[in-house]
Structure 1
Amino acid sequence: MKTIKLIATDIDGTLLSSDRSISQENFNYIKELDHEGRFVTLVTSRHLKGLPVNVLETNAIRYTITSNGAAIYDHQHEKYIEKVLMDKDRILPLLRQLQDFKAVITVAMFGDIITDNDSLKNIVAKSEEEREEVIRFFNRSRKLLDVESLVNKIKESEGIEKIHLNFGTVSDKDDVIEFLNTLPDFEDYHITSSYYKNVEISHKDATKLEAVLRLANKIQIANQQILTIGDGENDIEMFKASENSIAMLNASDYVKEHALFVTDYNNDENGWSRYIKKYIANRE
């Protein structure tokens, strides 16, 4: 009997190397797990359009949980099987308020990832060359629109997956966290961070944990057959899905404290595949 049937994995800093490539060993092991009848599910803060092609090329990823749990996508049938969206009418006034802070504002909605072009002035870089490279990244990876065009896009949408805020300094991030905590409807949002200079805002039920559990229930996998693995603070909740929680060696001490196990190698040393392979072998 398979003790592990669902591997819920973070992408960046976990499955991928620091240069965002996937090693041949990790690539092959995804295919091996699929061949064994196990589901490797990507659980990420990324939008569907931002998923790494090099991972999808394994043709062994059936489901992906995107935007920190706001959506579950079925790659085989090419459709969303769940969406947990924020009400666009409530997001619009919040967006206006966030523009008063020093943050680069990106909104993820189904079909679009849009950055407020005006907010790019808040990019903090060591040099003008570095600043231009960051702007080129935003141009490559998402649409850039002025505020009014972004507002119109939101009004036309069915709802919002996530608001993503990037900061130049930790103090700028702290200012926004302090503001969000004063909102009268604060408890209606899920607020998390995938690294120390960003904040991600989504619906209160759009969490990695809730999405993993809902997917497991849908495909009839028991909680004790779920393995979770990640390296970021937004993975901590996901670790609660089962006792098979694993933090990457390259994770912060804070993240490691919330997992029951830690890999022997980091994400640049095939830590993902080497540890999962050993973990499953010791239990079956």
Structure 2
Amino acid sequence: MHTQNSFRLVALDLDGTLFNSQSQVSNENKSAIKDAIDKGTTFVISTGRPYSGLPLELMEELGIRYAITTNGAAVYKVPEKECLFETCIPASLASDILEELLQLNIHINLFLHGDAYAPAKCRQALLKIRSLPDSIKEYMLTTRTSIKDMPAFLREQEAGVQKMTLNFPEGEDNSFPDRGKAMEILDKYPQVSYLCGGYHNLEFTMTGISKGKGLALLCQYLDIPIDHTLACGDSENDLDIMKTAGLGVAMANAPREIQALADDITLSNDEHGVAAMIRKWL
């Protein structure tokens, strides 16, 4: 049973966890993290975002030196962008899957070497998605390199893909008509596995990749027992790391099924939930 002060490493999700609903980090959360780092706790970002989507200035301000990115497909040392571990979808497989997905009305993000790309034809689909907050739409629009023929780009570059993320415009009845079609396509490829990272999206990596595996590899690298780690998140892509860590904490804004599987629940991301978790457990 864990007690206060027994944790040496804390892994924090970004969107919906450390970030509030405006994609900002409160001063309360910043202060709590700085105090814990000053006392010797290592903090790690654990996110579905690529390296290029990390808040590097914020991480430098807080003293956070490591990041588990793209749902565990790549683990980096920051700010050197030193890739410590990486597992990619091979370019040939990624291009085959992408060609099928591009027949649907969806927005697709691809993450290669820590950078973010999007097929040019997907821009209009992104603008039509009502469920995505404007701050996240703006983040996607301003941080993706647009490529006209993305399958050809992957084959020419022979570039492995760390992760792909799919976002879906709503139909008139607020359902997501192409989400099921995308799942049918992905189900044909057992080499990859998918889950939801929030806002009804789908995110897929090579099968066996997860934030939890990224945490285990990083703990080996840092020589920190995994029992002395804490992971905090709000979405399906956080479940594995919450189970892998010594203690898994869900945000109050997480779906009920995520909260039900957590060891503890903190306040929401708009109520400085990370700071509350730190005060309770560190």
What is the CA–CA distance in structure 1 between the aligned matches of 2:71 and 2:137, rounded to whole Å? 24
- Structure 1 gap segments, 5+ residues each: none
Is residue 216 of structure 2 the alignment partner of residue 210 of structure 1?
Answer: no
SS in 1 for 2:10: strand
In structure 2, the partner of 1:267 is 269
CA-CA distance at 1:22 after TM superposition: 0.7
Provide closer, same or farther for how the CA distance between residues 154 and 230 of structure 1 changes in structure 2, counting only shifts above 3 A: farther
What is the CA–CA distance in structure 1 between the aligned matches of 2:214 and 2:139, rounded to whole Å? 29
CA-CA distance at 1:98 after TM superposition: 0.8
Q: Specify which of 98, 102, 105 is matched with residue 108 of structure 2.
A: 105
Q: Verify the 8 A CA contact 2:68 2:214 in the aligned structure 1.
A: yes
What is the CA–CA distance in structure 2 between the aligned matches of 1:91 and 1:12, rounded to whole Å? 26
CA-CA distance at 1:117 after TM superposition: 0.8
Task: Give RMSD over aligned pairs.
Answer: 2.4
Q: Read off the aligned partner of 2:277 and give its amino acid letter.
A: Y
Is residue 29 of structure 2 the alignment partner of residue 23 of structure 1?
Answer: no
Q: Read off the aligned partner of 1:161 and give its amino acid letter.
A: Q
- Spell out, residue by residue over 1:104-140, the C-alpha distance to the aligned partner (whole angstroms, 9 max, x if none): 112110153111111234346389xx9x999765441
SS in 1 for 2:177: helix
Q: Read off the aligned partner of 1:220 and give its amino acid letter.
A: D
What is the CA–CA distance in structure 1 between the aligned matches of 2:107 and 2:30, rounded to whole Å? 33
Provide closer, same or farther for how the CA distance between residues 43 and 157 of structure 1 changes in structure 2, counting only shifts above 3 A: farther
TM normalised by structure 2 equals 0.88
In structure 1, the partner of 2:145 is 143
In structure 1, the partner of 2:67 is 64
Aligned residues between the structures: 272
What is the CA–CA distance in structure 2 between the aligned matches of 1:135 and 1:76, rounded to whole Å? 25
What is the CA–CA distance in structure 2 between the aligned matches of 1:79 and 1:260, rounded to whole Å? 33
Q: Verify the 8 A CA contact 2:44 2:66 in the aligned structure 1.
A: yes
Q: Verify the 8 A CA contact 2:194 2:203 in the aligned structure 1.
A: yes
Q: Verify the 8 A CA contact 1:208 1:235 in the aligned structure 2.
A: yes
Q: Specify which of 224, 231, 236 is matched with residue 234 of structure 2.
A: 231
Q: Among the aligned pairs, what percent are the same residue? A: 25
Is residue 76 of structure 2 the alignment partner of residue 73 of structure 1?
Answer: yes
Provide closer, same or farther for how the CA distance between residues 278 and 153 of structure 1 changes in structure 2, counting only shifts above 3 A: same
SS in 1 for 2:232: strand
Q: Verify the 8 A CA contact 1:21 1:54 in the aligned structure 2.
A: no
What is the CA–CA distance in structure 1 between the aligned matches of 2:135 and 2:17, rounded to whole Å? 25
CA-CA distance at 1:214 after TM superposition: 1.1
Provide closer, same or farther for how the CA distance between residues 135 and 52 of structure 1 changes in structure 2, counting only shifts above 3 A: closer
What is the CA–CA distance in structure 1 between the aligned matches of 2:136 and 2:217, rounded to whole Å? 36
Q: Read off the aligned partner of 1:119 and give its amino acid letter.
A: C
Q: Read off the aligned partner of 2:184 and give its amino acid letter.
A: E
Aligned 1:98-247 pairs, distance under 5 A: 98-123=101-126, 125=128, 138-147=140-149, 151-153=152-154, 155-169=156-170, 170-181=176-187, 183=188, 185-186=189-190, 188-247=191-250
Q: Verify the 8 A CA contact 1:22 1:54 in the aligned structure 2.
A: no
Q: Specify which of 3, 6, 30 is matched with residue 6 of structure 2.
A: 3
Moved more, 229-238 or 133-142: 133-142
- Spell out, residue by residue over 1:71-115, the C-alpha distance to the aligned partner (whole angstroms, 9 max, x if none): 111116541111111111111111111111221112110153111
- Structure 2 gap segments, 5+ residues each: 171-175
Q: Verify the 8 A CA contact 1:109 1:157 in the aligned structure 2.
A: no
Q: Read off the aligned partner of 1:230 and give its amino acid letter.
A: G
TM normalised by structure 1 equals 0.87
CA-CA distance at 1:215 after TM superposition: 0.8
